[in-house]
Structure 1
């Protein structure tokens, strides 16, 4: 009878352990799901904040929208999304230096190379957008630590810093350097 009692006790212990493991596993999946929802809500917030920005030419608005899509993809370290948005930008723009920088992002599978090309894209796109705002504000943001402390700037439709050069490694590294109106 003691062997049978021991077997029942062992089975109960295994069942309890399996149940606890299942609960912990479900909780981890819920945390991952919540972080995805939070990430999507950050992206949605960024899109909503930029609604007040309008340009004198619809082409410039489309260019800035694609630029923001590239920035968001780099912030999320999503090389495929960066490639797609960059290709769309390259197809829309006629300025050679902007087109070349966008194509460099579109043709690269390396996130660091994409980020370096994005720095060039940011430099080239800024003068194009500066004189064409009809309403709203664009924020020139700067991270002094990007590219081995050489620093790099990017444009944003929000004051909130979401660093495309470091992504999740250092998402808030940077400051608003200039407000373009």
Structure 2
């Protein structure tokens, strides 16, 4: 009986070590590859050092023609709610983001860009709406696809603030999100594995 217990304990310890190592390896920053800024958008030059206040730093960007920045503002607030394991707040912010996405005005972009943005926004609204009515595990599943939509949107709209595309190798085979800080605060695991991940790319 003792031998069986020992045989069971060894693989469990090995799995735990592999998980911790994967996260630690993932926390090392790789050289950042800048993404081209195709369009000029207004954005405040606020510094963010702790990764928790992305939304607060973005609020002033909602002035002027920055409706794309309103989307980013709401996205970062949603991300921070998931980092904080706050299901109720994430529901509210999912609904808020769905509204700001619906209000996004793409008229200043080219016909091709408008077509691409229309598809991106429609998909993003759907996932934001799901987040507004789901438990936190399901919210995180939709946030993964929502993050890809917002990243695709930024590739067209551009940003004056440097954004960081971050990556968690552990969640759902690997999942990315955007942040205004290099500091990794993981929205997919929250307090369970808060710093699991790495900076994958700089977006300027």
Q: Are the aligned partners of 1:53 and 1:136 in contact in 2 as well (CA < 8 Å)?
A: no
The 1:50–1:88 alpha-carbon spacing in structure 2 relative to 1, beyond 3 Å, is closer
Change over 3 Å in CA distance of 1:90–1:54 after alignment to 2:
closer
Q: Decide whether the 8 Å contact of 1:137 with 1:180 is kept in 2.
A: yes
**Superposition map of 1:101-112 within 5 A:** 101-108=127-134, 110-112=135-137
Q: Which aligned pairs between 1:66-85 and structure 2 lie closer than 5 A?
A: 66-85=74-93
Tell me how large the CA RMSD over aligned residues is: 2.6
Per the normalisation by structure 1, the TM-score is: 0.68
Classify 1:92/1:172 alpha carbon distance in 2 versus 1 (closer, same or farther; 3 Å): same
Cα offset, 1:52, TM superposition: 10
Conservation of the 8 A alpha-carbon contact between 1:54 and 1:61: yes
Q: 2:152 aligns with which of 124, 127, 137?
A: 127
1:81-126 deviations in Å (ceiling 9; x for gaps): 1011110111121321010010010011x11100000001001111
| Alignment TM-score, normalising by the size of structure 2 | 0.61
Please give the residue correspondences for 1:88-99 in structure 2 after superposition, counting only pairs within 5 Å: 88-94=96-102, 95-99=121-125
Higher-Rg structure is 1
Partner of 2:140: 115
Cα distance in 2, alignment partners of residues 103 and 127 from structure 1: 19
Question: How do 1:1-181 residues align onto structure 2 when only pairs under 5 Å count?
Answer: 45-46=53-54, 57-94=65-102, 95-108=121-134, 110-147=135-172, 150-181=173-204
**Which structure dedicates a bigger proportion of its chain to helix?**
1
Residue deviations 1:23-69, cap 9 Å, x none?
A: xxxxxxxxxxxxxxxxxx95665456668989994111000000001
Q: Residue 71 of structure 1: SS of its match in structure 2?
A: helix
The answer for unaligned runs of 5 or more in structure 2 is 1-48, 103-120
Change (3 A) 1:130 1:55: farther
Separation of aligned partners in 2, 1:134 and 1:152: 22
83 and 127 in structure 1: CA distance in 2 versus 1, 3 angstrom threshold: same
Runs of 4+ in structure 1 deviating by more than 4 angstroms, as ranges, are 41-57
Deviation at 1:129, TM superposition (A): 1.3
8 Å contact kept, 2:50–2:181: no
